[in-house]
A and B are shown apart, each in its own frame.
Chain A
Amino acid sequence: MEIAVLVIFGLALLLLAVYGYKISAKTAEDYMLAGRGIGIVVMFFFSLFTISSVWTFYGYPGFLYRNGPGFVYFIWGCLIGFIALYMFIGPRFWAVSRLNRYLSPVEAVAARYESKGLRLLLALVLLGAVIPYVADQSLGVGLGFTALTGLPREIGILYTGGLLVLIVLLGGMRLTAWVNILLGSLFTVAFLGSLLWVTFKFFPGGFVEAVDVLKENRPDLLRTPGPEGRFTPDFTAGVLVVGLLSITWPHVAVSTMTAQDKRIFKWMPILGLFVAGLFFYSIPFFFGLIVAPAIGFHPDGEKTPYQSVEGRTREILVAAEQEGASLTEAEAEAQAKEDVREYADTIVQTTVTTYLPRWFSIFVMIGVIGAAVSTASVQLMTSSIIIARDVVHGFFKPDASERFLVTSTKLSVIGVLGLSILIAWWYPVELALYLVNIAVPGFAQWGPALIGGMLWKRGTRAGALVGAGVGSAYLIIGVVLSVLLFGAGELEAPRIFFGKNPALPTLAVNLILYVVVSLVTRPPAEPVKRRFFDEVEAFLSKKG
């Protein structure tokens, strides 16, 4: 039955995509930026559900389940980053893009520095970072498929890939925004419903009762550094700083370009704080940190026992001894780490599938697919806009027609998706780290050029090129060397980045070089200052 429902759901999404194709205009501006006509309600939910993904549903609660409460600092950091994006960068970025008809965020930044080289560099770095984030979505659905149906995760990865291609190819940004809201609503109902149902089934006293269970059995889950000792104070503070880098996420920055008018930037911080800060992100927090582990200690919860690496290692060693197999402690621990990673990544789906009715479990799986598709479709749109507009049109074929631009955008979708499927297949680290340790460090590399370009008149082409170039080179070489020398597991805390999140040292290098080189090189030309500062300020200060 599960498979039939999932096939029907996929077909329904396909019909929606066909409808979107019929009603959409066929210009590049409409396809890429929804004709710059997205209003406040659509914009808010579009942004919320673009950010909220399989990462929110599976990755974030799974990471809390393994590491305790310190990881919530990433969410608080993200929230502050988004507020800063919508209040300080968004209005200027929106105004300059609207006044100059820029279609891609990279195009706008490259125009600020009058550099084709920077345009290509930023395009490639951002693409490299978006691809693993898209992979995170397909992989999450794959893991959910396994937890629900027992099918190999590769089936879920391919199912998600197929849906994404059809939605993005047929619909463009306008349909993507609407699908995002529809699926996001489904996702919210499934997620909140499952948390409340499972909580009150096991703990009639609510979260207080569940927390009491943890205080007695796993107090290490309620404090840092957490069960695995990862969240030392400086690591927790670093996680907050990495969260702040949400100001640079390209798939969110692009949403500011689709805004209908500037009032949107007044409402976004308020709505974001209220809906996301107080409500939405509390759901995965309580699911992963409190309810799912506490159930493992409930007399009726023995089917999903709480699993730590330490406990799982002991289980593996005992099983090996009983079977007479020879297994060293290090081998058992390596196996345990893999087992716990997969167990934690699917703890939400496993809990729902094990303890709630079958029909609801399928509904939750549909919610997860909604979360994956709603996020990945915007990421794919953003990637394909960057490829078509910045790489193909901006670098190789500047005289391309509008038709060529839309076609190359669509072809790019297939290429990006193909690469993301390969990375999803690989599964080297937890779902949460696909975003935090792989995608975010890449997004961060255009941060100084973006923020400095919009707010600092003195930022120069040489500063942006040297900063982004050296920061990106450090990141890419560091990641490649870490994987080649120490294996993919090294990405959890790469030694080449001093055991910190790769975003921190690489961004520091990028930022210092951007500022220093800008100060010692010739300031930008007057026409650039006029276009990016004077005209923008005049446009924004107009009433209405």
Chain B
Amino acid sequence: MREVFAHGAGKAFVAFFAIALAGLLGAAWTFEKGIVVFGWMPLPFALGIGFVLLALAVCGVYLFRFWPYR
């Protein structure tokens, strides 16, 4: 993490995870509505899948272009 914080891309990478985490935490207050996405994914599950897809893209870019331990 020390190396990750030492460059701009690393800081942006950590910021993505911090914002995603805050978003997931905040979303817990909306689950009482019982929203089902696409007719088969309850909201807590769908949000997590959305996070995973975004995280895959962000990790892919960071790890293969900016990873400090190459």
Q: What residues make up the interface of A, taking CB atoms closer than 8 Å to B?
A: 69-70, 72-73, 75-76, 79-80, 83-84, 87-89, 91, 206-208, 210-212, 215, 219, 222-225, 231, 233-234, 236-237, 240-241, 244, 262, 265-266, 269-270, 273-274, 277-278, 282, 285, 289-290, 455, 533, 537, 540-541, 543
CB-based contact B31/A219 at 8 Å? no
Main secondary structure of the interface of B (DSSP, over half): helix
- A-facing mask of B9-33, CB < 8 A → 1, else 0? 0000000010011001100110111
Determine the chain B residues whose CB is within 8 A of the CB of A233 once the complex forms: 28-29, 31-32
CB-based contact B69/A91 at 8 Å? yes
Could you say which of B44, B56, B70 contacts A543, with CB atoms under 8 Å apart? B70
CB-based contact B33/A223 at 8 Å? yes
With A80-B17, A222-B34, A224-B32 as given contacts, are A236 and B44 in contact (CB-CB < 8 Å)?
A: yes
Please report the C-alpha to C-alpha distance between residue A270 and residue B63 in the assembled complex, in whole angstroms: 9
Please report the C-alpha to C-alpha distance between residue A239 and residue B28 in the assembled complex, in whole angstroms: 10
Minimum CB–CB distance for B41 against chain A, Å: 8
With A219-B34, A236-B44 as given contacts, are A87 and B4 in contact (CB-CB < 8 Å)?
A: yes
With A206-B40, A223-B33, A233-B31 as given contacts, are A240 and B25 in contact (CB-CB < 8 Å)?
A: yes
Minimum CB–CB distance for B15 against chain A, Å: 14
CB-based contact A289/B56 at 8 Å? no
Could you say which of A237, A266, A277 contacts B52, with CB atoms under 8 Å apart? A277
Q: A75-B48, A76-B51, A211-B40 are in contact. List 11 more A-B contacts (CB 8 A).
A: A69-B31, A72-B44, A76-B48, A208-B40, A223-B32, A224-B44, A240-B25, A269-B59, A290-B40, A533-B2, A540-B3
CB-based contact A208/B34 at 8 Å? no
CB-based contact B4/A80 at 8 Å? no
CB-based contact A455/B2 at 8 Å? yes
Please report the C-alpha to C-alpha distance between residue A277 and residue B45 in the assembled complex, in whole angstroms: 11
Minimum CB–CB distance for A25 against chain B, Å: 29
Minimum CB–CB distance for A543 against chain B, Å: 7
The 8 A-B pairs of least Cβ separation, nearest first, read: A223-B34, A277-B52, A88-B1, A207-B40, A224-B31, A236-B28, A69-B42, A76-B48
Determine the chain A residues whose CB is within 8 A of the CB of B3 once the complex forms: 537, 540-541
Determine the chain A residues whose CB is within 8 A of the CB of B36 once the complex forms: 211, 215, 222
Please name the residue on chain B nearest to A235 by beta carbon.
Answer: B28
Determine the chain A residues whose CB is within 8 A of the CB of B48 once the complex forms: 72-73, 75-76, 79, 277
CB-based contact A237/B63 at 8 Å? no
Could you say which of B24, B29, B32 contacts A76, with CB atoms under 8 Å apart? B24
CB-based contact B28/A289 at 8 Å? no
Please report the C-alpha to C-alpha distance between residue A541 and residue B4 in the assembled complex, in whole angstroms: 12
Q: What residues make up the interface of B, taking CB atoms closer than 8 Å to A?
A: 1-4, 17, 20-21, 24-25, 28-29, 31-36, 39-40, 42-45, 47-49, 51-53, 55-56, 59-60, 63-64, 67-70
With A266-B63, A273-B59 as given contacts, are A278 and B29 in contact (CB-CB < 8 Å)?
A: no
Minimum CB–CB distance for B35 against chain A, Å: 8
Please report the C-alpha to C-alpha distance between residue A91 and residue B67 in the assembled complex, in whole angstroms: 12
CB-based contact B2/A537 at 8 Å? yes
CB-based contact A278/B49 at 8 Å? yes
Please report the C-alpha to C-alpha distance between residue A69 and residue B63 in the assembled complex, in whole angstroms: 32
Please report the C-alpha to C-alpha distance between residue A72 and residue B59 in the assembled complex, in whole angstroms: 22
Determine the chain A residues whose CB is within 8 A of the CB of B42 once the complex forms: 69, 72, 222-223, 289
Please report the C-alpha to C-alpha distance between residue A141 and residue B37 in the assembled complex, in whole angstroms: 35
Chain A to chain B contacts (Cβ below 8 Å), 25 pairs: A73-B24, A73-B44, A76-B47, A83-B17, A88-B4, A89-B1, A91-B69, A207-B40, A208-B40, A211-B40, A219-B34, A223-B33, A223-B34, A225-B32, A233-B29, A236-B31, A237-B25, A240-B24, A241-B25, A266-B67, A277-B52, A282-B45, A537-B2, A537-B3, A541-B3
CB-based contact A70/B44 at 8 Å? yes
Determine the chain A residues whose CB is within 8 A of the CB of B21 once the complex forms: 80, 240, 244
CB-based contact A540/B44 at 8 Å? no
Determine the chain A residues whose CB is within 8 A of the CB of B49 once the complex forms: 277-278
CB-based contact A262/B52 at 8 Å? no
Please name the residue on chain A nearest to B67 by beta carbon.
Answer: A266
Most buried by A among B42, B56, B64: B42
Determine the chain B residues whose CB is within 8 A of the CB of A231 once the complex forms: 31
Please report the C-alpha to C-alpha distance between residue A210 and residue B36 in the assembled complex, in whole angstroms: 12
Please report the C-alpha to C-alpha distance between residue A541 and residue B70 in the assembled complex, in whole angstroms: 7
Minimum CB–CB distance for A431 against chain B, Å: 21
Please report the C-alpha to C-alpha distance between residue A208 and residue B1 in the assembled complex, in whole angstroms: 42
CB-based contact B52/A79 at 8 Å? yes
Determine the chain B residues whose CB is within 8 A of the CB of A273 once the complex forms: 52, 55-56, 59
